Structure 1
Amino acid sequence: MKRDQILTRQLNIIMRREQKFLNQKENTFVKSKVTPIINKIQNKIPEKLVSTLDKTFYMGFNFVFEKGNAYVEKTYNKDRIYSKYDLNNYAIDKYMSKKHLKNIDKQSKQSSSINASLSAVEGGVLGLLGIGIPDIPLFISVIIKTINEIALSYGYQYATDEEKTYILYLICGAMTKGETQKVYAEKTDLLGEDIDSNTYISICLEEIMEETSSILSATLLTAKFIQGLPVVGVIGVAVNPYIINKIGKYTRIKYKKRYLLGKVSDCQ
């Protein structure tokens, strides 16, 4: 099979996987039984708490992006991950084998599973402290750690404001539903294209951090609220790894799609 045929086939596979992710149907039991209960809880959550969580998530993103990335990078071997990508990418360019494409995937999957385990421990311990505010910066660090490692696995750096915005769009896309999710999916693709083609991009990172903070806060608010109740104080054990896994899965899809689009473009 020719190089461009293999790439096109792999691209079609990942695009189908993306559509499946974007068109997931809500479980019938959850929709009929759980969602109404969640809505009742949400209506009882004080506005002050909503505002506090939004600000805390924003401060968490701001800290990690402005000062904390150096500390996050101490939790994994950046050079080793990128070196593995470099070797696999060289092999793909030379031999165009599905085996080496799978090797890149394998590296990115390991990051998500390990970080989901870390977030389970973090959620179980810090969830007992109350509403969960103390663990939000740490939770955001685990999210960014997961995305950073996946990005490196596919050969992408993350230091620029453009790449940080791409990361924030990934989080928004993973944590929203329906048409809103599809809008973020398109925004992510368009931004990736602009970055990779060196197109000028006007970005206000602060606004996008606020936007992402509001979405992530709203998604986790009910779980964090329940987390503060003594009877179910360890809900973070279940919630946090679920979120990490979901973001990790979506991130792998998007970075692999971006990687393959670049390879297809090089063939043309």
Structure 2
Amino acid sequence: MVETMEELQIELKKSVEWEQDQSDLWFWEKIGRLPFKLLDKVTHAFIQNKIGTLLDELGQYVQTGGKYLSSVTSLKSYYPNNTVHTLADVKLVPVVEMDQAVSKLANNRKQLATIQGASTGIGGILTLSIDIPLLLGIQLKTLQDIAMCYGYDPNDKEERVYIVKVLQFVSSDVVGKQAILKQLSIIDSSNEGMKREVISELQGWREVVMTHRDQIGWKKLFQMIPIVGLLVGAIINRSAVSDLAEAGMMLYRKRRIKERLAMELEDVEK
């Protein structure tokens, strides 16, 4: 293996500590969600309807990948100094190098999201209809590329479910985050029966849409104001992609480390 068990344990501890640190944000998230019942009444129907259309797009993504699927060829841009051409090659890369590749990817996507949010925020409500699906596209492709940087194939349906669960994790409150972490742990399990049980929970992507409405709907109200929406759109989209990239990195690196530790244990037992 490319790392020793001791090194893998140290890296795993970082991901575990990150999961624990998320509790620092949960209290404020719960407070922030209190006025959402009122906001639902005043939020422009256009925004709610537009975000609602993402339900069908996420469903299509889970089933077929649709227009959102990334290509393995993009790995070359994240591993320029290595002979990484396939996902099999990635699995032989040290976790530290995987992290560096994802950091480079995250910075690129945050810049893209900033530019996209600013450009679609200039026209207020006229360009808001373009912004919401574009943001979803950036988010899904970011998670897919993160998955590939850690050696996982987003062409697999199981992997697309995992990606949507990560997207859901970022948008959820304390209860939701805890439940999703348990579901992701089951997906990580080697028990195939448990995996199939999670795959059957495709209803979960409906929750993603609802939490998206709560999390960004009221912020998008400000983006409806021409010119002002430029700054608001840039900040909102950059923040959304930044949070998503961090969660994707920590959850995928933990998954890869646990798999390598399991392989190490198998070698020791032999």
TM-score (norm 2): 0.79
Q: How does 1:200-211 map to 2 (within 5 A)?
A: 200-202=195-197, 203-204=199-200, 207-211=203-207
Give 2:56's aligned residue: 59
Are 2:164 and 1:163 aligned? no
Displacement of 1:247: 0.6
Q: Which residue of 2 aligns with 1:259?
A: 256
Ranges of 4+ aligned residues in structure 1 off by more than 6 Å: 34-39
| Structure 1 residues not aligned, in runs of 5+ | 92-99
Mean Cα displacement is larger for which, 174-183 or 109-118? 174-183
Equivalences, count = 251
Could you tell me how far apart the structure 2 residues matched to 1:173 and 1:73 are? 24
Matched AA of 2:137:
S
Within 1, Cα distance between the matches of 2:208 and 2:28? 25
Residue 10 of structure 2 is aligned to residue 15 of structure 1: no
1:127 to 1:73, Cα distance in 2 relative to 1, 3 A = farther
**What whole-Å deviation, never above 9, does each CA across 1:209-258 have from its counterpart, x for those lacking one?**
32212222221111112211236212110000101000100110000000
Question: Secondary structure of the equivalent of 1:23?
Answer: helix
Show the counterpart of 1:44: 42
In structure 1, give the amino acid aligned to 2:53: T
- Partner amino acid, structure 2, of 1:68: K
Of 134, 137, 140, the residue aligned with 1:141 is: 137
The match for 1:249 among 220, 238, 246 is 246
Runs (5+) with no aligned partner, structure 2: 266-270
Choose the corresponding residue for 2:218, options 219, 222, 230. 222
Counterparts of 2:214 and 2:112, CA distance in 1: 23
Pair 1:186-2:186 in alignment: no
Counterpart code for 2:113:
S
| Cα separation, partners in 2 of 1:128 and 1:26, compared to 1, 3 Å | farther
1:129 and 2:123 matched:
yes
Decide whether the 8 Å contact of 2:171 with 2:208 is kept in 1: no
Give the stretch that moved more between structures: 48-57 or 257-266.
48-57
| SS of the residue 1:259 aligns to | helix
CA distance in 1, matches of 2:236, 2:120: 13
Aligned counterpart, 2:268: none
Superposition CA RMSD, Å: 3.1
Residue-by-residue CA offset, 1:45-64 (whole Å, 9 max, x unaligned): 25x44651342222333455
| In 2: Cα distance, 1:208 partner to 1:41 partner | 23
Structure having the larger proportion of residues in helix: 1
CA separation of 1:22 and 1:257: change in aligned 2, threshold 3 A: farther
Q: Structure 1 61/73 Cα, relative in aligned 2: closer, same or farther at 3 Å?
A: farther
What is the DSSP-based 3-state SS (H/G/I as helix, E as strand, rest coil) of the residue aligned with 2:248? helix
The alignment-based identity, stated in percent, is 16
